[in-house]
Amino acid sequence: MSLETFLFVAVVFMGLLFDVMNGFHDGCNAVSTVIYTGALKPRTAIALSATFNFIGPLVMGIAVARTIGGVINASDASAHLVIAALFGALVWDFLTWIWALPVSSSHALVGGLLGAGMAAMGPSGIIWGKVILVFTSLVVSPFLGLFTGYMVMLITQRIVKRVKWDLNKADKFYKRMQILSASWVSFSHGSNDATKVMGMIVIFIASSHQLSVDAYVDKFGFPIWVIISSAAAMALGTYLDYKSFRIIRTVGERLCQLHPVNGFSAEVGGAVVIQLASLLGLPVSTTHIITSSVTGTGLRAGLAGVSWKVFRAIILAWVVTLPFCAGVAAGAYYLLNIWL
């Protein structure tokens, strides 16, 4: 096997490995609420989520992939850069899974890409306009998730009050509705998160033609095998969530008390924000949005309705994500240049 072929295989392997870890780490976004409200049994919920995570990127297209691919000057990117960026994000996802903290795989991926990109090409290799766009969407989207979760919860509570349902009747109705809302979150998650790895793989493919990602896609089209393999890897990672409830437990049990009306409201509020972002080609953190949306539903019961100790730990992990991933990715890039 030639070095060029080996590096191509390594890039694809690391990309799909990160996609599996992303699905494994972030699968809780859709299933935590539906499991802890008793709407679906764990295996059923996770299988449903995996299915819609696969369908999402196939239906919604590649807008987010093109945005991620535009963060660096792909025509000058190397396999070392892409592998290092993915490695930095992968390490963080693994560590935060051990710590049971729901952090952003998207945030980690952008941090890794910036760290490796700066190490490889310096500031001139970064497309700062795209970086600002990405970071604006990553920063603003959790606040939108908090707002939409709160507002959908407010609306559903008023509906329940108007039809004069007691808690048992409301729980029974919204348990059924959660099957739809959880499916929507999973579809949205796949449409946004799986496409980010597609962008990473195509960065390397475009660089071999000395083209930017946009120029490559316009000339050759987006490789179908990249779309299908990334969607499948995300679905596989999501399905493997049945092996671990670490992060599912944090979102579904420790953050605030969940009833089916909370779970439905959080899922609908989060899905609306994620779906709009995917349509606009904006890479957002589904973890940040769903966690914020769950918090928004808890706030309807007042400040005491949220476990602020758990929320503070999550926020701290969010703040550390970017510098950690950037530093690990930069170090990995330098080591790869020495070894390969």
Q: Give me 332's structure tokens.
A: 């990995």
> How many alpha carbons lie under 13 Å from residue 255 in its C-beta half-sphere?
33
Say what the pLDDT of residue 252 is: 44
Residue 144 CA: distances (Å) to CA of 210, 281, 309: 38, 17, 22
Average pLDDT, the chain: 84
Say what percent of the chain tops pLDDT 70. Answer: 86
Q: Give me 103's structure tokens.
A: 């952090």
* SS3 (DSSP) at 72: strand
CA nearest neighbour of 53 among 249, 177, 239, 294: 239
Distance CA 48, CA 112 (A): 30
Please write the tens of the pLDDT for every residue from 109-133.
Answer: 889 999 999 999 999 889 999 889 8
CA nearest neighbour of 69 among 204, 242, 180: 204
Please write the tens of the pLDDT for every residue from 77-86.
Answer: 889 999 999 9
Q: Which amino acid is at 178?
A: Q
Average pLDDT estimate for 131-136:
87
Distance CA 260, CA 272 (A): 18
Please write the tens of the pLDDT for every residue from 30-85.
Answer: 677 777 677 788 788 888 889 998 999 899 888 888 888 888 988 888 899 999 99
Q: pLDDT class for 268, splitting at 50, 70, 90?
A: very high
How is the chain split into domains, by residue range? 3-339
pTM score, whole prediction: 0.84
Average pLDDT estimate for 139-148:
86
* SS3 (DSSP) at 300: coil
Distance CA 81, CA 284 (A): 22
